[in-house]
């Protein structure tokens, strides 16, 4: 049977009992239709993708690549790392100086953490700008917030492992925050330390958890992708793109490849030319419990949360406010009131969004400054703006825009002063 056009051919295939000779057998024998690879084909190769996605949508796949780099480099580092307070610092130096290619693996892992956070932050801010948290993608956003929290915990524990000065004192300061919990706080701190101070038991626990957590993040990432593919990707217009989709391969594979290569160049510049720029020099000093650094700061990607923590003089209030960041992000899909997703069509939201980005930058800067005037006051104001955007501006502006969009006028509107002007007759 010969079909003159594609529509007749496809309609024939949809009729039970009627098919083109060899069509079903060729599909059945395709390697991508086999049970093991059919999931990969459906969710990656032949995945229907909105045709108007821009390069910012490539940061999701970049995050997966960063996670894979961290897992593989971490496994190789663990082969030579010694999780003991007397050996940890020297084992890292042994990897750097004596192991063939050890310096590369170590710098790849250390800078890879920063690259991972850069990619995830861009991915998250893209979601905020284009309204990717809005219905029906609430679960996608919630799982993303959980992944961010797991990443922060994993990065903190990894920062402790080199056992330099910042490792020891950073662990001491951050784990001590648990003592702010009423009644059971001191017991939690003792449990985390495995004793009465940050010591060998603490280092062993952090090493074990740091090795485990990336695999939990990988599992959460699979859930994240599965939830995304349930309703499909958002797009820059924020509209239903089900009528205008193309397969991921080869169209967006090539587009993502441009981002991957560009990112590899950016990553390589830090690994090969500026490997210690994103770290702290004090962590090249062996941990010494008898000498406190003049200024204890976490890695740059945790400075925003550290600034929010410090903005409240009370320890419990600071911890609650820091955890409130994740609560505010998690409830964002449920307090959003705007019928329009993309900020491209929301002039007021676009201005507030860039104010929010600037505010986040200020918080990162404040987190690296010492606790003194005027940095404390600036940090408190920036913290107020941060939560005001997430909890007040987004829902309030959505309602205001909805009011403007749905307002019914019986007659054309004109300013009051125009109606009061005397009629000029000519």
Domains recognised in the chain with CATH numbers: 49-275 (1.20.810.10), 303-406 (no CATH)
Q: Regarding predicted confidence, which is higher, 240 or 211?
A: 211
**Is 282 considered catalytic here?**
no
- Cβ atoms of 131 and 344 within 8 Å: the answer is no
Confidence band for 40, pLDDT divided at 50, 70 and 90: confident
Q: Cite the annotated binding site for heme b by residue number.
A: 109, 123, 210, 224
Q: Regarding predicted confidence, which is higher, 112 or 33?
A: 112
Q: Which listed residue (229, 245, 315, 350) is catalytic?
A: 229
* Phi, psi dihedrals of residue 150, rounded to the nearest 5°: -65, -35
pLDDT of residue 46: 85
**Is 401 considered catalytic here?**
no
Q: Cite the annotated binding site by residue number.
A: 109, 123, 210, 224, 229
Q: Half-sphere exposure of 121 toward its Cβ, with a 13 Å CA cutoff?
A: 15
- If we measure between CA atoms, which residue out of 208, 94, 212 comes closest to residue 160? 208
Range with lowest mean pLDDT among 15-19, 40-44, 246-250: 15-19
DSSP 48: E
Q: Which listed residue (73, 132, 167, 256) is catalytic?
A: 256
**Is 25 considered catalytic here?**
no
Give pLDDT tens digits for 211-230: 999 999 999 999 999 999 99
pLDDT of residue 38: 79
Q: Which listed residue (255, 282, 315, 350) is catalytic?
A: 255
For residues 317-335, average pLDDT: 96
What tokens does 341 get? Answer: 């997703």
CA 138, 144, 146, 149 torsion: positive or negative? negative
Range with lowest mean pLDDT among 87-101, 292-306, 394-408: 394-408
Range with lowest mean pLDDT among 7-16, 82-91, 373-382: 7-16
Q: Half-sphere exposure of 357 toward its Cβ, with a 13 Å CA cutoff?
A: 14
Q: Distance from CA of residue 324 to its chain's centroid?
A: 17
Taking 50 as the threshold, does the pLDDT of residue 190 lie above it?
yes
Range with lowest mean pLDDT among 18-22, 111-115, 293-297, 324-328: 18-22
Residues 6+ apart with CB under 8 A from 139: 227, 230
For residues 34-63, average pLDDT: 87
* Phi, psi dihedrals of residue 19, rounded to the nearest 5°: -150, 165
What tokens does 376 get? Answer: 């404390």
Measured distance CA(68)–CA(71) in Å, rounded: 5
Q: Which listed residue (138, 299, 359, 401) is catalytic?
A: 299
User: How confident is the prediction for the chain on average, in pLDDT?
Assistant: 89
Taking 80 as the threshold, does the pLDDT of residue 416 lie above it?
no
CA 127, 44, 230, 330 torsion: positive or negative? negative
Q: Cite the annotated binding site for a ubiquinone by residue number.
A: 229
Q: Which listed residue (61, 73, 233, 338) is catalytic?
A: 233
Taking 70 as the threshold, does the pLDDT of residue 173 lie above it?
yes
- If we measure between CA atoms, which residue out of 162, 144, 151 comes closest to residue 115? 151
- Cβ atoms of 161 and 203 within 8 Å: the answer is yes
- If we measure between CA atoms, which residue out of 338, 416, 347, 353 comes closest to residue 390? 353
Taking 80 as the threshold, does the pLDDT of residue 236 lie above it?
yes
- If we measure between CA atoms, which residue out of 371, 247, 266, 354 comes closest to residue 313? 371
What tokens does 47 get? Answer: 């995945």
**Is 256 considered catalytic here?**
yes
For residues 127-133, average pLDDT: 96
Q: Half-sphere exposure of 112 toward its Cβ, with a 13 Å CA cutoff?
A: 21
Measured distance CA(309)–CA(303) in Å, rounded: 10
What is the pTM (predicted TM-score) of this model?
A: 0.88
**Is 343 considered catalytic here?**
no
């Amino acid at each position: 049977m010969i079909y003159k056009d594609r529509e007749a051919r496809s309609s024939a295939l949809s009729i039970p009992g009627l098919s083109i000779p060899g069509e079903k057998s060729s599909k059945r024998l395709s390697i991508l239709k086999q049970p093991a690879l059919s999931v990969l084909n459906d969710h990656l190769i032949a995945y229907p993708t909105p045709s108007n996605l821009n390069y910012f949508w490539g940061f999701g796949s970049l995050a997966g690549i960063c996670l894979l780099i961290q897992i593989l480099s971490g496994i190789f580092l663990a082969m030579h790392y010694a999780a003991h307070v007397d050996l940890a610092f020297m084992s890292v130096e042994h990897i750097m100086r004596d192991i063939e290619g050890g310096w590369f693996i170590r710098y790849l892992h250390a800078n890879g953490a920063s690259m991972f956070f850069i990619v995830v932050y861009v991915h998250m801010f893209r979601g905020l700008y284009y309204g990717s948290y809005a219905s029906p993608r609430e679960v996608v956003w919630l799982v993303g917030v959980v992944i961010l929290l797991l990443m922060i915990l994993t990065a903190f524990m990894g920062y402790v492992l080199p056992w330099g000065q910042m490792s020891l004192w950073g662990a001491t300061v951050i784990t001590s925050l648990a003592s702010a919990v009423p009644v059971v706080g001191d017991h939690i701190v003792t449990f985390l330390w495995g004793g009465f101070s940050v010591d060998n038991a603490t280092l062993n626990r952090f090493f074990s958890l740091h090795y485990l957590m990336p695999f939990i993040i990988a599992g959460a990432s699979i859930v994240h992708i599965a939830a995304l593919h349930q309703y499909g990707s958002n797009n820059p217009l924020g509209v239903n793109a089900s009528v205008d989709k193309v397969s991921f391969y080869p169209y967006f594979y090539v587009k993502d490849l441009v981002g991957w290569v560009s990112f590899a160049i950016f990553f390589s510049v830090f690994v090969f030319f500026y490997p210690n720029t994103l770290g702290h020099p004090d962590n090249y000093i062996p941990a010494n419990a008898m000498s406190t650094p003049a200024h204890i700061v976490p890695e740059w990607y945790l400075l925003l949360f550290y600034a929010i923590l410090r903005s409240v003089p009370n320890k419990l209030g600071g911890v609650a406010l820091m955890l409130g960041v994740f609560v505010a992000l998690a409830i964002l899909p449920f307090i959003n009131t705007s019928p329009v997703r993309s900020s491209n069509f929301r002039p007021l939201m676009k201005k507030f969004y860039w104010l929010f980005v600037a505010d986040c930058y200020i918080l990162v800067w404040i987190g690296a400054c010492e606790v003194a005037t005027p940095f404390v006051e600036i940090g408190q104001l920036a913290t107020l703006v941060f939560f005001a955007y997430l909890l007040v501006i987004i829902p309030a502006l959505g309602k205001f825009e909805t009011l403007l969009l749905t307002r019914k006028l019986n007659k054309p509107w004109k300013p009051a002063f125009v109606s009061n002007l005397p009629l000029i007759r000519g």
